[in-house]
């Protein structure tokens, strides 16, 4: 992911679908935009919501429009929620960006998403090659997650664990949100869209903690993870690549394919060999 304008054959949907890491950068810090784009993340999300103070919303929007119009960066933009004072102005400004040749807008991230009708309405305003990522951050959003995932043109879902835990008055620790993570993965699969992006790890210093959080997300079936600091990108990327032990296991399974045998004391059948092939594919290994 780098700065510059979109090429004609790589769309915002393509980039957002393939991204394993999605790095937030505050919208009122334009001096950080290009730096974020060079951090190695699969996609950058310029944030107009939580990372920007109310008094700075207008200035942030102006900075984002300028950067995207000038082709300084290719990025998704997280707008403010539908019921916010600035939402409508942000949508109109970003629509204007899409009319500019060579713009860098890849799509939108919609916070507090819980109404499929509203999401569908926003989807209809923007070109179909731009991504749309509803962010599930409430009980209502989780309950409607399948309908949100089925809105035509939704690229993938994302999970906002901190706001979700606040909404249901639960602890923000991972184990108490297992049900929400599972439901978002299942809803995405049932709707036939890309696996969702998990909530960011709140630790930006401990690489082991970041990697463990990302590994948990991968085991749940997430396709990637949101990041709130460039330091998190490398650790998350590593966690979403199968380990040497996983690759070795997959090779042993493939080697036994077609025979009624055991590997590590477990019978091998087609779902197991299919999983082994998927692991090797994710690791970029031949089989």
Tell me the C-alpha distance between 77 and 75, whole Å.
6
In this prediction, residue 47 carries a pLDDT of 98
Choice between 2 and 104, residue whose per-residue pLDDT is larger: 104
In this prediction, residue 273 carries a pLDDT of 73
- Angle, vertex CA 244, rays to CA 241 and CA 249, nearest 5: 105
Choice between 284 and 244, residue whose per-residue pLDDT is larger: 284
Confidence of residue 234 (pLDDT cuts 50, 70, 90): very high
Q: Please give the domain boundaries of the chain with CATH numbers for all domains.
A: 12-239 (3.20.20.60), 244-282 (no CATH)
In this prediction, residue 242 carries a pLDDT of 73
In this prediction, residue 6 carries a pLDDT of 44
Tell me the C-alpha distance between 212 and 202, whole Å.
12
Residue 156 has pLDDT above 60, yes or no: yes
269 φ, ψ (degrees, to nearest 5): -135, -175
pLDDT in tens, 8-23: 579 999 999 999 999 9
pLDDT in tens, 118-135: 999 999 999 999 999 999
- Angle, vertex CA 270, rays to CA 267 and CA 271, nearest 5: 90
pTM of the complete model: 0.87
In this prediction, residue 43 carries a pLDDT of 98
pLDDT in tens, 83-132: 999 999 999 999 999 999 999 999 999 999 999 999 999 999 999 999 99
Kindly give the pairing relationship between strand 158-159 and strand 131-136.
Answer: parallel
- Is the distance from CB of 104 to CB of 5 less than 8 angstroms? yes
pLDDT in tens, 277-287: 766 667 676 66
């Amino acid at each position: 992911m780098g700065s510059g304008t979109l090429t004609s054959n790589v769309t915002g949907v393509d980039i957002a679908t393939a991204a394993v890491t999605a790095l937030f950068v505050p919208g009122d810090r334009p001096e950080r935009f290009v730096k974020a784009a060079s951090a190695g993340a699969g996609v950058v999300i310029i944030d107009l919501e939580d990372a920007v103070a109310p008094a700075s919303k207008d200035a942030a929007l102006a900075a984002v429009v300028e950067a995207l119009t000038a082709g300084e960066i290719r990025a998704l933009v997280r707008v403010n929620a539908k019921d916010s004072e600035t939402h409508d102005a942000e949508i109109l400004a970003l629509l204007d960006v899409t009319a500019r040749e060579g713009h860098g807008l890849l799509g939108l991230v919609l916070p507090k998403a819980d109404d499929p009708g509203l999401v569908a309405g926003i989807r209809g305003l923007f070109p179909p090659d731009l991504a749309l990522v509803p962010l599930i951050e409430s009980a209502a959003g989780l309950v409607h997650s399948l309908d949100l995932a089925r809105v035509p043109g939704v690229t993938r879902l994302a999970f906002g664990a901190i706001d979700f835990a606040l909404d249901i008055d639960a602890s923000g620790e991972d184990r108490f949100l297992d049900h929400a993570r599972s439901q978002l993965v299942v809803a995405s699969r049932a709707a036939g869209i890309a696996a969702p992006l998990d909530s960011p790890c709140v630790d930006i210093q401990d690489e082991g903690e970041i990697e463990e959080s990302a590994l948990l997300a991968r085991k749940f079936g997430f396709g990637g993870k949101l990041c709130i600091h460039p330091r998190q990108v490398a650790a998350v990327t590593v966690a979403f690549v199968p380990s040497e032990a996983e690759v070795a296991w997959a090779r042993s399974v493939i080697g036994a394919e077609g025979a009624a045998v055991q590997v590590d004391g477990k019978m091998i059948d087609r779902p197991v060999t299919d999983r082994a092939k998927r692991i090797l594919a994710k690791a970029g290994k031949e089989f």
